Structure 1
Amino acid sequence: MIEQRFKCPNCQEIATFYGNPGETKVVTCAACNTKGRVIIPGEKQDNNVAIEVSHLKKVYDDLIAVNDISFTVKKGEIFAFLGPNGAGKTTTVEMIESIRTPTAGAIRLLGADTKTGFNQIKERISILPQEFHSFERFTVRETLTYFSKLYKKRANIDEILDAMDLQSHEKKLYRNLSGGLKQRVGVALSLVNDPEIVFLDEPTTGLDPKARREVWQVIANLRNKGKTVFLTTHYMEEAEHLADHIAIIHKGKIIAEGSLQELLTTYGEKTTLYIKNCHSEDARQLLEEKGFEAHSSGNGDIMVKIDYKEKVLEVLSELRHECIEYDGVDIRGSNLEEVFLRLTGARLTEEAET
């Protein structure tokens, strides 16, 4: 929301009010009760958008760290922001969080321009940094209670403990918790002000696979509660498992964006269906006649290239219809890591970046 001023046509009194660009507001003068209709300048905002980044740019001397990028994050979704070291990922996130000032471009959080309206929405967002630490001698409940008192709006601590599955640990000292539990407490802390947007920076770094999956469930629960989650991660499997929408930044530019399936379809190799020991020499020809790209391996197996896994049943249905027998099937498709490597030529690592 942005601040606007209304000058009463009757008594010339100035009234201050807040609204969104493109919105029409009826303002009542406090001095004489005269009403006036005001249209706030700017384009009307999409109420379903939580984060809007427009033509964002950051320049350090001769280095263009972020180069004219634009994207939106919808309310209630998990958005994964990926990029190799030096890609501009951290710089972008810090500009969205108002830690760094953009060279050019605009950022809106919940409809508010962060340049002028960040103070109005800062309590509606929450940021969990990668390097999170709490008071060693506080219990879990004391930790949540302490930090909740820093905000005007506070969530119910019991509800947070329940949502994060921390009820049985609430009396434990923070210093005695495992790494996985400390991360869950961190995510729980990001909810004490009942935020609408939660920024999670590498929330599972350093955790073992079991603890990592426990945190994944916690993050998924945030989406179930209607929260918008902006996630940065070095684990491709994490983005595959959690994200509704994924953006990949490389050399300061957004080079790919979409759902997991959209990225795999657009940038990944076709899925290969291996039909094991197919008992018919006519199977390959049959599948080709049906429009499939099929190849014989010479050992009785047939390889069929398909655009997406849902086509598997269609292929097998054709074989059953012609009473063609086979010993089994194996499906091998692209994954997000393969797409990432193809687009950037680099792997995600756990080192610091620009």
Structure 2
Amino acid sequence: MPLTAPLTDPRWLAHRYDAQADAVHFVSADRAARSSATFLTDEFLPGAAEPIVIPRSDALPQAASGNAVHFIFHSAYCCSTLLARVLDRPGVASTLKEPVILNDLVGWRHRGGAPARIGEVLDSTLHLLTRPFEAGEATIIKPSNVVNALAPAMLALRPDAKAVLLYAPLRVFLTSIARKGMWGRLWVRDLLTKQLADGMVDLGFEPTDYLRLTDIQAAAVGWIAQADLFARLVGQFPERVRTLNSETLLAEPAVAVAALTALYKLPLMARDVEAIARGGEFARNAKDGSAYAATDRVREQDDGAKLHADEVDKVVVWAEAVAVNAGVALEPSAPLLG
């Protein structure tokens, strides 16, 4: 592959970071490819098998400065992919759904990367990611929730950026994990491992206590850790951060999208917001595009609640006590829809 690429062309997506070589892997992914991809991972990007590799020091001067950047930080299983899809509008905003390069920085951090060095590369990464397809477009980045520990740094590096902190209520989240079976339970344990490595969990437990938790208790601990982080983000960036409940988003899509438009200062008219709220995205599964109405979500939640009621009920009571003891609010402040 050639050493350089026309990085003024925004279709070249900053996809991976090689810390040892201090190089960035770029893949060809135009707007249509990014829009159709569930996430910006190898699985969904056809061009990922043929990246071009450019030293970071060479890539930065080639990449034109981006426009405004904003963020969707989330707790997972909370309609964040749906939200990213509906905000992706040519001439208004280009959304990035879980770019892997940010996960690479988290992995580097867990391997002992120097914080100052990671901060420098994070700044470069945000610069490379925020190259709009059209002049005046904002870039809205929805990182994977394993990247949440870097949220304070990202907001500090971009003082004009706004962020919505999207979350599913505790019971809804736990029920989602329970009904996903073994894979959901493995995922929350993997997430908790990463949160512990990031120093996000401070609930008064001894390290070995986490090994004694059930899978759903581990899910609750991870949820509380993220609620604690969200509360700290609200406190640190009170004018720039708002919280949003996933069930509120689904119940009041037009109101939520209008509020997000105001928060991000997107050039959308009221009729555009109404069109988005009435559009097909809210009637499809954001992951695979299949028909999926709000009634389907309610039915799945009800079925899951019935099947796993005993376990979830007990863990909710336990988690509420843990959160109170740790001083973590289960309902975060600064709601987008106040």
> Into which bin does the TM-score normalised by the smaller protein fall?
under 0.3
Hey, which of these two has a bigger chunk of strand by percent?
A: 1
**TM-score normalised over the length of structure 1:** 0.24
Hey, which of these two has a bigger chunk of helix by percent?
A: 2
**TM-score normalised over the length of structure 2:** 0.24
Structure with max Cα Rg: 1
